[in-house]
Structure 1
Amino acid sequence: MMNRRQLLGTGVAGATLVSTKAWSQTDNRSLPEAALTDAAGTQPPVAPSSGPDYNPVVTLNGWTLPHRMKDGVKEFHLVAEPVERELTEGTTAYLWGYNGTSIGPTIEAVEGDRVRIFVTNRLPEHTTVHWHGLILPSGMDGVQGLSHPGIPPGKTFAYEFDLIKSGTFMYHPHADEMVQMAMGMMGMFIVHPKDPTFRRVERDFLIMLNAFDIDPGTYIPRIMEMTDFNLWTWNSRIFPGIDPLVVNKGDDVRVRVGNLTMTNHPIHMHGYDFKVSCTDGGWVNPDVAWSEVSIDIPVGAMRAFDFKAEHEGDWAIHCHKSHHTMNAMGHDVPTFIGADKTNVTQKIRRVQPEYMPMGTAGMADMGEMEMPIPKNTAPMMSGWGKYGPIEMGGMFSVVKVRPGIASDDYADPGWYDNPPGTQAAEWTGEIPEPMQVADATTRYTDPPVSRG
C-alpha cells in the first residue's frame, strides 16, 4: 500500500499540482494546488484570507484545506487516494482518504460564497463526493449514477455551487459507499455565518466520529462489517492518540461533532453543562437552547454544543458507550471474574513461561501491564495520566482549561495540578457508622409515625 507522498514524491508539508485535466467546463483552467499532509497531530487553524471574517475551526488531529480565489470563486482541490493513517503511536492503518489523510481535510467557507471543488480520483475504482447536508443543485449532489457519472480513476471532476446556509456539514462518497466509507473516506465541511459576530466563539473544535474493524496485527479494515467494530475513532484516531482540546479559561467554546459510523454515540463531557447550539437543520435559537451534559449524535447527523470555560482542570470528554472507549476489542472473550486460574496457569506456563493470568478481578490490570500483543495493535486500554493509567481508549480525550492560554495556542499544557484540598484522597480519620433503616420491611406507603 503506497500513500500519495510515495506516489508523487513530495514532502510532508509540500503541496503538489495535480496535472490531470479538469472535467467539462473547466477543461482549460489550471487546477489549484492539491495540498497534502500525512501528519497525525492537530494543525493550527487557518485564518481567513479573503471575504468576511470568521474564527476558524480546529480539527482534532486534522487540518483545513487551503483554497485560492479565482474570478470571485473559492477553489479547493481534493484528491481521493490510498493513505496510511497513524491511529495512535505504533499503530497504523492502510485506508482510503483525501490529500494524504483520513479523515480528509476540513473545508471552510462562508455563507454566500460560491465554491468550486476539484476532485481528482487516484483510487483503483470510480468515486464521487456527496456534500452531506448542503443545499445545492441536483447535479452536484454526488450520487453515482443519479447525480452524475462516477469519477473514473485518474480523472478530475469539478463541483460548483453556492453556499446558501451556514452550519456544520460533511462530505463522503456516494459510490461503492459501503467500501469507500469503511475505508475511511469522509471529511467535514464548515460554512461560517456571513455576519462575523453571529454566535462567534473563541475556540471552535471539530470531531468526526468514525469506526473501523481491523483485526489485531493487520492493517486493512474489514469492509463487510456492519455492527461488530473494534476500533472506535475520532477523526480516525484512537486514545491516547487523540489530542486534547486546549482552552483558555474564560473562552466561549464550541464543539462540533459529526457521526458517520453505524451507531449512535452519546458524547459526554465532564465538569460542565453545555447548551446545544446547532443541529443538522441549523442553528438553535438561544432562547430555546437546552442544557445537557451528554448529547446523543445519531447516525449521519451532526450536533454542536457551546460552553463557557469557567472551570480550570483536565476534564474527560468521551462516548458513553463503554466499549467505544476501548481499543482492539475482542467480543468473544469469556468473563473470568471470580475464577481460580491457579492450576491452569501452572499448566500453561510449562509451555508458555511468560503467560500472565488476567481478568479474575476485572480488567483494570490490562491498563498497567505491557502484555505481548500482535504487531501494529494498540492495547485495549492505554494512555497514562498524572496519577496512573487512565484505562481508556477509542473515543476519549481531555478538555484542558487553563488561564493565560494565548488565542493561537493549542499546545498541550501538561497535566493539571489540583489546588490543595480539592483532590480526593485516602481518609485516615474516624469513619462514622452507617445509618441503619429501623425496619427494612417498612414501605413508603405506610402512614408516617408521629414523633410528638
Structure 2
Amino acid sequence: MINRRQLLGAGAAGAALVSSQAWGKTTNMGLPEAAQMDSAATAITPRPSSGPDYNPVVTLNGWTLPYRMNNGVKEFHLVAEPVERELADGMIAHLWGYNGQSTGPTIEAVEGDRIRIYVTNKLPEATSVHWHGLILPSGMDGVVGLSHPGIPPNKTFVYEFDLIKSGTFMYHPHADEMTQMAMGMMGMFVVHPKDPTFMPVDRDFLIMLNAFDIDPGTYVPRIMTMTDFNLWTWNSRIFPDIDPLVVNRGDRVRVRVGNLTMTNHPIHMHGYDFKVTCTDGGWVPESAQWPEVSIDIPVGAMRAYEFTADHLGDWAIHCHKSHHTMNAMGHDVPTFIGVNKTELTKKIRTFQPDYMPMGTAGMGDMGKMSMELPDNTIPMMNGWGKHGPIEMGGMFSVVKVREGIGADDYSDPGWYENPPGEQAYEWTGELPEFATNNSPKTILTPKPTSKG
C-alpha cells in the first residue's frame, strides 16, 4: 500500500518478462513497479517536482498510478487481476480490477508526453486495455482481434504512444467486456495541458460512475444483468462511504465524471450553477460553455464542469435518478403505501416477534431503522447528517465549502453550522389566509384572437 502523501514516481526491476508479442522496443530495465492499493481512502498526489506544472486530480476513494521516467518516456505498470473492494463499511465485493482495486488507479500524464504502459494479465482469461477517447495508433487501441491479439493469462503486453491532446479519458477492456466491465474493470486517464496557464483550477475531483448487481449475502456481481442493477456507486463506493468534496471558499473547482455503466446519469449539484467545460472529445471553448445545475452523463462518456466555490455550506451532489441514491435495491418489493398493516403485523409477530412493517407511509423510515441484515449487504438508506438521517445512499456525496481550508487539505471538516437566521424552522403561529381569485371573469390562458 502506498502512503497517501508519497511522491508517486520511483520504480523497481520487475518480476515478469514482456511478451514477445509486445509492440515497440523498450530498454532492458525490467518492468516498472506494479504499485498496489488496498485502502478505500482518497489518496492525495503532490504536485510534480519537475517537468510541466499541473494540479493533480483527486480521485474520490481512489489514487493515482505511479510512473517512472525511462529515457524520457513515462512508464506505468497496470496489473489486471481479481480484487476485493470494500464498497461500503461492512460490504466487500469480489471484483476484477487493476493493481488491487476496482475502479483501477487513475493514470495522469501531460500533453506531449510519450508513455509506455505495461499491462500484466492475472485474470483467468485473455484481456486488453482500450484507451477510451485517446488519439493513438490503431494497433494500440485495445480491441482484441482487431487491434492486436488478446493478452493471455500470465503474459504482459506493452502499449506505447504519444499523448497529443489534453483532457479526461477512460480505460477499460475490449475483451469479453460484458464480463470484465460488469466485474469492475475500468479506470480514468487524465492528460493535463502542457501549458499550465490553460484552464487552471484549484481543486480537481474525479468520479467514475459504475454499478453492480450483487444479491444480499453474496460477493460476486451478476454479469448477465442489463437493467436491474441494485448497487449504484462512485469509484466503486456507496454513500455514506463516499468521501466528501472538500474545498476552500473562493476555490475554482472542476469535477470530472465518467460513465461506464449501462445507463445515463443526470448528476445534480445543490447550491451552485456551473459551466460544462470539457467532454471526452476535448475542451469546450469558453464561448460555447453552457450553464447547468444538472449535467447528464451519457453511457460511455465523460463530462467535466467547473464552478467558483462562493457559497459556504454542505451541498448535496448526487445522481438525480431517484433509485440511484438507494442501496441494495430490491426489484420485487411490493408497495404498501396507504395499507393498514396493524392486524397483519400482530399475526406475523406471533411467529416472527421482530417483524417490522415497512412502507405504509413511504420508505423514509428506512433511514432510521437498524434492522438485522444478511451478511455482506447494506441498508437501502444508511447516511446520517447533522440533523438526522439523510435518506440517501448509492450515488451521493457532499460538497463541503469552508473558509480557511489549506490548498492541500482534503480532510473532512465535519458538518456545517448554519448561521442564525439561515436555517429552515418550524412555524407554530397562525397561518395567513391565502388569497384566491374566484371571479368568473378570470382568464388563466389568453384566448387566441381571430384575424379579419
Choose the corresponding residue for 1:19, options 15, 18, 21. 15
Question: In the TM superposition, what is the alpha-carbon distance from 1:26 to its structure 2 partner?
Answer: 3.7
Question: Equivalents in 2 of 1:163, 1:387: separation in Å?
Answer: 48
Q: 1:340 to 1:292 in 2, by over 3 A?
A: same
Question: Equivalents in 2 of 1:65, 1:123: separation in Å?
Answer: 20
Matched, 1:380 2:377: no
Aligned residue for 2:241? 241
On the 8 A contact 2:314/2:416 being kept in 1, the answer is yes
Question: In the TM superposition, what is the alpha-carbon distance from 1:346 to its structure 2 partner?
Answer: 1.1
Question: Equivalents in 1 of 2:202, 2:45: separation in Å?
Answer: 12
SS at match of 2:345: helix
On the 8 A contact 1:173/1:186 being kept in 2, the answer is yes
Question: Equivalents in 2 of 1:102, 1:391: separation in Å?
Answer: 26
On the 8 A contact 2:12/2:31 being kept in 1, the answer is no
Aligned residue for 2:82? 82
Paired letter, 1:23: S
Question: Equivalents in 2 of 1:47, 1:95: separation in Å?
Answer: 31
Deviations 1:84-140 (A, max 9, x none): 000110011000000000000000000000000000111111110000000000000
Paired residues for 1:351-370 under 5 Å: 351-370=351-370
Deviations 1:130-169 (A, max 9, x none): 0000000000000111111111111111100000000000
Paired residues for 1:138-153 under 5 Å: 138-153=138-153
On the 8 A contact 2:121/2:156 being kept in 1, the answer is yes
Deviations 1:262-304 (A, max 9, x none): 1000000000000100012211111221110000000000000
Question: Equivalents in 1 of 2:440, 2:237: separation in Å?
Answer: 51
Paired residues for 1:96-135 under 5 Å: 96-135=96-135
Aligned residue for 2:334? 334
Segment of structure 1 superposing worse, 434-443 or 39-48: 434-443
Question: In the TM superposition, what is the alpha-carbon distance from 1:19 to its structure 2 partner?
Answer: 0.9
Q: TM-score, normalising length from structure 1? A: 0.94
User: Cα RMSD (Å) of the superposition?
Assistant: 1.6
Question: Equivalents in 2 of 1:94, 1:345: separation in Å?
Answer: 37
Q: TM-score, normalising length from structure 2? A: 0.94
Question: Equivalents in 1 of 2:152, 2:68: separation in Å?
Answer: 25
On the 8 A contact 1:12/1:39 being kept in 2, the answer is no
SS at match of 1:287: helix
On the 8 A contact 1:46/1:64 being kept in 2, the answer is no
Aligned residue for 1:94? 94
Aligned residue for 1:160? 160
Aligned residue for 2:47? 47
Paired residues for 1:23-42 under 5 Å: 23-24=19-20, 25-26=25-26, 28-42=28-42
Question: Equivalents in 2 of 1:445, 1:207: separation in Å?
Answer: 46
Question: Equivalents in 2 of 1:176, 1:117: separation in Å?
Answer: 21
Paired letter, 1:21: L
Segment of structure 1 superposing worse, 438-447 or 73-82: 438-447
Aligned residue for 2:211? 211
On the 8 A contact 2:134/2:169 being kept in 1, the answer is yes
On the 8 A contact 2:2/2:35 being kept in 1, the answer is no
Question: Equivalents in 1 of 2:330, 2:433: separation in Å?
Answer: 43
Question: Equivalents in 2 of 1:422, 1:415: separation in Å?
Answer: 15
SS at match of 1:421: coil
Matched, 1:56 2:56: yes
Aligned residue for 1:8? none
Question: Equivalents in 2 of 1:38, 1:440: separation in Å?
Answer: 71
Matched, 1:196 2:196: yes
Identity fraction in percent: 76
Question: Equivalents in 1 of 2:12, 2:36: separation in Å?
Answer: 7
Aligned residue for 1:69? 69
Question: In the TM superposition, what is the alpha-carbon distance from 1:51 to its structure 2 partner?
Answer: 1.9
Question: In the TM superposition, what is the alpha-carbon distance from 1:407 to its structure 2 partner?
Answer: 0.4
Question: Equivalents in 2 of 1:158, 1:219: separation in Å?
Answer: 32
On the 8 A contact 1:265/1:320 being kept in 2, the answer is yes
Aligned residue for 1:270? 270
Question: In the TM superposition, what is the alpha-carbon distance from 1:27 to its structure 2 partner?
Answer: 8.2
Question: Equivalents in 2 of 1:79, 1:440: separation in Å?
Answer: 75
Q: Count matched residues.
A: 437
Question: In the TM superposition, what is the alpha-carbon distance from 1:23 to its structure 2 partner?
Answer: 2.6
- Can you give the 5+ residue segments of structure 1 that lack an aligned partner in the other structure? 1-10, 448-452
Q: 1:299 to 1:122 in 2, by over 3 A?
A: same
Q: 1:402 to 1:446 in 2, by over 3 A?
A: closer
Aligned residue for 2:398? 398
Aligned residue for 2:450? none
Question: In the TM superposition, what is the alpha-carbon distance from 1:173 to its structure 2 partner?
Answer: 0.4
Question: In the TM superposition, what is the alpha-carbon distance from 1:385 to its structure 2 partner?
Answer: 0.2
Paired letter, 2:48: P
Deviations 1:243-277 (A, max 9, x none): 00000000000000000001000000000000100
- Can you give the 5+ residue segments of structure 2 that lack an aligned partner in the other structure? 448-452
